[in-house]
Amino acid sequence: MYIPIDNCELSFSELATLKLPTHMKTMTEALKTPFEMSLFSQNGVGKATVLNKIERSQDFQGCYVFVDEETPVYVGISRSAVQRLIQHVKGKTHFDASLAYRMAAFNYSNDMSRGEAMENDDFIRCFNEAKQRLCSMKVAFVEIKNDLELYLFEVYCSMQLDTTQWNSFKTH
């Protein structure tokens, strides 16, 4: 007998063979017409304006993919996808702009803790450059309402798109 996890009535086999590939087809379509990330980074522009520009009435739970030129480079998920995308490019901390932090840390060799790095002027310069790089990218996203499907899809999508440079699923 199968006991649902997070209200997902599908078995793992059904998720793996039916649902995740279906979400991937939707993401593949979304990747054909991604949005400019600069839309999410404009000064004085908040979530409501962004939602209007992407023709959505409210924020949504889903998966997003950053695209650098034509190459997918990062897959992320959020319960509030639009707000999360704004944080990636406008965030001031390593928590808010975690991908920018990871990119800056890759380019700035150091042995500082995250907190120390975020107080270092040279590192902050790298961090801000990484956020600018993200602003030059594009993003595609899909809404996925079920938590279990969303979590599994992040890994599935990352593997399908080979975003191994920036995606990591190590636990803390």
**Opening angle at CA 113, ends 112 and 114, nearest 5:** 115
The answer to whether residue 172 sits within a structural domain is: no
Average pLDDT on 63-67 reads: 98
Output the pLDDT for position 102.
Answer: 94
Output the pLDDT for position 172.
Answer: 64
Number of other residues whose CB lies within 10 A of the CB of residue 7: 9
Name the packing angle between helices 81-90 and 98-107 (round to 10°).
30
- Model pTM score: 0.94
Identify any residues that bridge with 68 across adjacent strands, giving them in sequence order: 71
Range of the domain at 110: 33-161
Nearest to 63 by CA among 141, 6, 8, 137: 141
The model's confidence at residue 33, banded by pLDDT at 50, 70 and 90, is very high
The answer to whether residue 104 sits within a structural domain is: yes
pLDDT, tens digit, 9 for 90 and up, residues 1-24: 567 888 899 999 999 999 999 999
CA distance 167 to 155: 9
Average pLDDT on 62-89 reads: 98
Output the pLDDT for position 43.
Answer: 86
Output the pLDDT for position 50.
Answer: 95
Identify any residues that bridge with 109 across adjacent strands, giving them in sequence order: none
Q: With pLDDT > 90 as the criterion, what percentage of the chain qualifies?
A: 87
pLDDT, tens digit, 9 for 90 and up, residues 102-134: 999 998 877 889 999 999 999 999 999 999 999
The answer to whether residue 26 sits within a structural domain is: no
From the number of C-beta atoms within 10 Å of its C-beta (0-12, 13-18, 19+), residue 60 rates as middle
69: left (phi over 0), alpha (psi -120 to 50) or beta: left
The answer to whether residue 23 sits within a structural domain is: no
Average pLDDT on 66-91 reads: 97
Tokens of 77: 């998920």
The answer to whether residue 170 sits within a structural domain is: no
The answer to whether residue 13 sits within a structural domain is: no
Tokens of 129: 């450059």
Tokens of 32: 């054909």
The answer to whether residue 75 sits within a structural domain is: yes
Average pLDDT on 146-165 reads: 97
Q: Cα dist. 119→45, 89, 133, 154 in Å? A: 27, 18, 21, 31
The answer to whether residue 46 sits within a structural domain is: yes
| Domain count for the chain | 1
